[in-house]
Amino acid sequence: MSRITIKQLLLAGSHFGHLTRRWNPRMRPYIFMQKNGVHILDLKKTHVLLEEAANRLGSIVSKGGDVLFVGTKDQARDVIKEEAERCGMFYVNERWLGGMLTNFRTIRNSIRTLEMLEAKGKDGTYDRIRKKEILSIERQKEKLVNVLGGIRNMKRLPQAMFVVDTIKEDIAIKEAIKLGIPVFAICDSNSDPSVVDYVIPANDDAYKSIAIITNVLADAIDEGRVLRKESSFGVEGEQDENENPDQKPAARRRRKKEGVVAVARAEGAPEAPAAPEAPAAPEAPAAPEAAAE
């Protein structure tokens, strides 16, 4: 059953791309037409690819994986936080710190610093220090909460990453690629889909478009969490404290790009005939024995 209709995507303005002069030619397969100097994205393809991405994320989560939501632009911040929290996943919605994935052990140390600062406000430390020191601690704590609050409980690397705006979040995507983490992303007409594993062609600037797509993915992830609870993978949200935080997800090959043809994969292409085996080479005749002297 479909989680969303093309009409809902249309009403959210998901079909509006950028001015034609700002396009990325690699998005050509996902563009329906141009009107008044603006590219119009093909919502039929958006619909199919969004469903595919949602199903895949649900599957990853049902098998015990976690998803990291990334969206630091103004239009995406609130949506990313709200939907990630709703489906029990992690998020970055303020600023991406270089090394958040590739230098995850150091990030975990920063999170421990945050926890230590929070403890000072509860263990009576504030009663023994000056007001100026308290204000300094509070400022430092607020800064860390803004940047790391969405990943403070992430004890290991995520098994997938969802991104709003591939251009703005290019550092996050590069880190995910380096670690072999699948990238799911909303790709506007100016995006480069070749750096993404699961392309969702849609408007990544309009709040309604971002919200409706993120909502569909969060619903699928939530369904995956229910299946996780019922499976042998244990209680939702449990993570091994002794697990290596820098451990990479299972090795995989980058997902081959299929462009527009991806939406028609259900039709199935005929398999190529097997290549005939090469005939065996004839054995060389045995060398004659040397004559006895």
Residue-range domains of the chain with CATH: 1-100+157-230 (3.40.50.10490), 102-154 (1.10.287.610)
For the chain, the distance separating the N- and C-terminal CA atoms, rounded to the nearest angstrom, is: 89
Please count the CA atoms within 13 angstroms of the CA of 15 that sit on its side-chain side. Answer: 16
pLDDT beyond 60 at 17: yes
Residues in the chain: 293
Residue-averaged pLDDT of the chain: 85
Sign of the torsion formed by the C-alpha atoms of 221, 227, 231 and 235:
positive
List, for residues 114-156, the tens digit of each pLDDT value. Answer: 999 888 878 778 888 888 988 998 999 999 999 999 999 999 9
Residue 185 φ then ψ, to 5° = -150, 145
Lowest mean pLDDT among 66-75, 121-130, 172-181, 191-200: 121-130
- Helix (H) / strand (E) element for 200: namely strand 198-201
pLDDT of residue 120: 84
pLDDT of residue 32: 96
With H, G, I as helix, E, B as strand and everything else as coil, classify residue 41: strand
pLDDT of residue 244: 53
The whole-model pTM stands at 0.80
* Distance separating alpha carbons of residues 81 and 248, to the nearest angstrom: 25
pLDDT of residue 124: 79
List, for residues 236-278, the tens digit of each pLDDT value. Answer: 444 444 445 555 555 444 554 544 444 444 444 444 444 445 4
- The DSSP code for 223 is H
With H, G, I as helix, E, B as strand and everything else as coil, classify residue 164: strand
pLDDT of residue 249: 57
* Distance separating alpha carbons of residues 182 and 24, to the nearest angstrom: 22
Q: Beta 31-35 vs 38-41: how paired, if at all? A: antiparallel
pLDDT of residue 247: 56
